[in-house]
Structure 1
Amino acid sequence: MDIIRAKQFTAAKAWGAKDIATMNGITTRLHWTDQPYKWHINDGEEVFVVLDGEVEMFYKQDGETHSTVLQSGDIFYASVGTEHVAHPIGEARILVVESAGSV
């Protein structure tokens, strides 16, 4: 049993995470960041939930780069093969659900 106050979570470095659970090969992590990640493609699907702050999510579709601003409560779903990168606007706290060991 654990209660996590997401808005109070910080990490020592950008994209630092608190592992919440691993169930049937799927991890759930809470991330804190104030810096962009890197362009990547996950090994499987990814669910990216902004819990606090704002994140500009860049993604490639049909060879073209697009972006959208995700606000608190918004969810980005990356299907297999979706190249994407998250750029927080200030500090952000993000819940990520993905295959264990994914990038």
Structure 2
Amino acid sequence: MKVIESERFTAARAWGALDVCTMNGITCRLHWTDQPYKWHVNDGEEVFAVMHGEVKMHVRREGREDTLTLKAGDIFHAQAGDEHFAEPVGEARILVIEKEGSV
């Protein structure tokens, strides 16, 4: 067993992660960041839960770009093939659950 106080977690670089666990090929990682990620498409589903801070989630659907604002406690689910990138507003801590080895 372990308890992780997500609000206290920091990393040496943007998107640095703490591996919480791996279950049957699915990883659960806590990320710290103060910088945007990059546009990407996962080869599997992804669950993205904002633990602390605020994140602007940019998504492309049917040739249209939208921005969703995620606050602490909000959860974003991307299907395989959904194009997106996350942009924190200041510092953010995010729990990401996805297939092991995903981008």
Q: How many residues align?
A: 103
State TM-score, norm by structure 2. Answer: 0.99
Structure 1 unpaired stretches of 5+ = none
In structure 2, what is the equivalent of residue 84 of structure 1?
84
Percentage of matched positions with identical amino acids: 62
C-alpha distance in 1, partners of 2:66/2:79?
A: 15
Q: Which residue of 2 aligns with 1:98?
A: 98
Task: Map residues 19-34 of structure 1 onto 2, 5 A cutoff.
Answer: 19-34=19-34
Q: Which amino acid aligns with 2:35?
A: Q
1:60 aligns with 2:60: yes
Which residue number corresponds to residue 8 of structure 2? Answer: 8
CA–CA separation in structure 1 for the residues paired with 2:11 and 2:64 = 33
Following TM superposition, by how much is the alpha carbon of 1:63 offset from its aligned partner in structure 2, in angstroms?
A: 1.1
Q: Which residue of 2 aligns with 1:38?
A: 38
Q: Mind listing any 5+ residue stretches in structure 2 that lack a counterpart? A: none
- Measure, in 2, the Cα distance between the counterparts of 1:89 and 1:29: 20
Deviation at 1:56, TM superposition (A): 0.2
TM-score normalized by the length of structure 1: 0.99
CA offset at residue 43 of structure 1? 1.2
1:97: how far off?
0.2
Task: Please give the root-mean-square deviation of Cα atoms over the aligned residues, in Å.
Answer: 0.4
- Partner Cα distance (2:58, 2:65) in 1: 7
The residue identity in structure 1 corresponding to 2:4 is I
Counterparts of 1:68 and 1:3 in 2: how far apart (Å)?
Answer: 30
Shift of the alpha carbon at 1:21?
0.5
